[in-house]
Amino acid sequence: MEDVLIQKLLINYKLKKKYDYDKYHNERKLDKDFIEKNRERSKQYYQNHKEDRKLNYEKNRDLLQMKNLYGYYNRNDKLDLFKSKHKYKYDKLIDIGFIKQLDH
């Protein structure tokens, strides 16, 4: 009984997602009024949340710089140099789970 109910819910969910997708791509996306409202809403959201984005960046600046530095060394196949030069940053990236390594 419960499996039948779960299957029915999944089927209904998939149908709803398909309906919403089709409705957007066949009707709303082509509606000029909707496009203008959506653009205006997006601009307003951007203006209202500029400070939030700035604060979030400031809060995570060090972490972002560590990730970018790791990416640079990784792209240039110099991870051993990164491990030796930036031991603290390497250990921090392992601690947060950015770098998956079994032995460190």
* Domain ranges, ordered by start, for the chain: 2-48, 61-96
User: What pLDDT shows up at residue 10?
Assistant: 96
The pLDDT of residue 102: 53
What is the model's pLDDT at position 100?
85
Check: pTM over 0.85? Answer yes or no.
no
Non-local CB neighbours of 99 within 8 Å, separated by 6+ positions: 70, 90, 93
Can you tell me the distance from the alpha carbon of 78 to that of 100, in angstroms, rounded to the nearest whole number? 17
What is the predicted pLDDT for the residue at 36? 96
* Position 33, amino acid: D
The pLDDT value given to residue 104: 46
Terminal CA-to-CA distance of the chain, rounded, Å? 50
Question: Token pair of 69, please?
Answer: 């530095």
Please tell me the predicted confidence (pLDDT) of residue 1: 76
**Rounded mean pLDDT for each run of 10 residues along the chain, 104 residues in total:** 92 97 94 95 96 94 96 95 94 92 55
What number of other Cβ atoms are within 10 A of residue 61's Cβ?
10
